[in-house]
Amino acid sequence: MDKRTYNKLYWERMPPEKKAEYHRTYYQRHKGERKSYSTEYYLQNREKILGYTKKWAGKPEVRIRAMAHKKKYRQNIRMRCIDHYSGGTMECACCPEKIYEFLTIDHINGGGTRHKKIHNAFLYGWLIKNNFPEGFRVLCMNCNFAIGMYGLCAHHDGSLLVKEKAIIGK
């Protein structure tokens, strides 16, 4: 076993309170020391470095790359959510709509203001982070809109009544 592997194993097996103790004494021992060259350099040239970073991030090729990456990430989490909440069918819970681009996540019973805040762009990430909580389903845009607007979708029995009421109610 080489020294690095040994050290790693030693560290992994160390009980947590001992680890905490180690960190404490390490901090005490090195507290007054001069900061490393790179830290020092950064602190003294912060503005300049941030300027470089900003300039680099503003380059068209970098921006396109970052945007593509973001898009891919968003599509990936969206796909995972649609897959989970449709039970793997990738289909609307109300009608046979299967076109992926038309599908969306619906919060059953409308949800409270708490959920409204995270709706839109953050919903998918939030669902994954919270281990796919219950109370959501997959709907197509049409059914989602109809249920949101009239409380019932035209695909269901009795929907005409809801529609009539909605029209009369105007």
Residue 154 beta carbon to Zn ion: minimum distance, rounded to whole angstroms: 6
Question: Applying CB under 5 A, does 91 fall inside the site for Zn ion?
Answer: no
Q: Which residue among 92, 105, 138, 162 contacts Zn ion (CB under 5 A)? A: 92
Binding residues for Zn ion restricted to 10-49, rule: CB under 5 A: none
Cα torsion angle, 127, 129, 132, 134, sign: negative
Q: Which is nearer to Zn ion, 42 or 84 (CB)?
A: 84
Under rule CB under 5 A, residue 152 binds Zn ion: no
Residue 87: DSSP 8-state: T
**The binder of Zn ion chosen from 78, 82, 86, 94 (CB under 5 A):** 94
DSSP state of 35: P
**Helices 60-85, 46-58: inter-axial angle, 10-degree rounding:** 70
Q: What angle do CA 161, 147, 137 make, to 5 degrees?
A: 140
Residues that bind Zn ion (CB under 5 A): 92, 94-95, 97, 140, 143, 153, 155
